[in-house]
Amino acid sequence: MELSFLTLQDEINKLQRGETTLNKPLKPHTTWRIGGPAKLFYEPDSIEGLVEALRLINKRRVPWFVLGKGSNILIPDRGINGVVIKLGENFATLKQEDELVTVEAGFSLIKLAGMMCKKGYAGLEFAGGIPGTVGGAVYMNAGAHKSDISSVITKALVLFKDGKMTWLDHAELGFAYRTSFLQSEGAMCLAAQFKLRKDDPVKLKAALQRYKAYRKETQPWKDPCCGSVFRNPLPHYAGQLIEQAGLKGYTIGGAKISEKHGNFIVNTGDASANDILKLIAHVQQEIEEGYGITLETEVAYIDDAQLQTS
């Protein structure tokens, strides 16, 4: 298997469409600072380069996974036995035509929200404290403060796992609570167009600061974490249930339920993915037994079953 990754690396390098690294450590590329290496780590230089490389990856039937800023995911301790495609700085262009803003997938969601508020365009204030990229936000339908990506997006450029690329409109993206059509299809968002509206920049920046201040006050933003671990079982809230169950501060290995917010698990310094999984399972069992409510995870555990193949 190692030989096949070396061969694939050579083939991708011949395209001169980005950078590749064998056995790349993934801890620095996740907000939890957890996980083993990627057999092959690929940073494409453009959408065209990614499409060409994906054709080679699929031809060799090597599984792959797309990575943005690494929030809302848990990488196994053994790593990823496939290609990790990193959409980063090479996927961060922005074009604006009045209220329509088109952004590539690697653009920081926090940065985008701040820029638009400063320029006097409303709609993304809710995202001012959400870590991650535009691509990941579309994939997860990220949201906060009673709003989400589906409320402002008009269409997205989508690359399917078979290499087909097309723009999908809002209805075709199949948004629901913390999910989208992309998840069921194993497709990736390459760019998105948002419809914003003109508003007072002073008012927008004030709203953005309120949301950021709230997050800093109520969430462990200084500690390595992934964001919310569990989906809210509406009308209940996962964090409140966990707090009511007396689980704040509960620790397994290096993983601890935040004392600031029950729906956050922090890495206290040396947590393994296995520590996180055990803690998640413990919380689910306690909430099921205590309240008869099944907590589903929002964070995705990237095991072999989660990797994509053509």
The rounded distance, in Å, linking the Cα atoms of 309 and 231 is 27
- Type of residue at 233: P
In total, the chain counts a number of residues equal to 310
Phi, then psi, of 206 in degrees rounded to 5 = -65, -45
Strand partners, 67: 86
Tell me if residue 298 is catalytic.
yes
Q: Which of 200, 196, 109 is nearest to 151 (CA)?
A: 196
Q: Residue 3: which residues within 8 A CB-CB, separation 6 or more?
A: none
Residue 9, number of CB atoms within 10 A of its CB: 18
The rounded distance, in Å, linking the Cα atoms of 276 and 254 is 8
| Catalytic choice (71, 228, 258, 272) | 228
- 3-state DSSP assignment of residue 218: helix
Residue 95, number of CB atoms within 10 A of its CB: 11
Tell me if residue 178 is catalytic.
yes
| Catalytic choice (33, 150, 151, 178) | 178
The rounded distance, in Å, linking the Cα atoms of 64 and 123 is 33
The rounded distance, in Å, linking the Cα atoms of 32 and 225 is 4
Encode burial over 204-230: b for 16+ CB neighbours within 10 A, e otherwise: bbebbeebbeebeeebbeebbbbbbbb
In angstroms, the Cα distances linking 195 to 141, 198, 279, 288 are 15, 10, 40, 41
Catalytic residues: 178, 228, 298
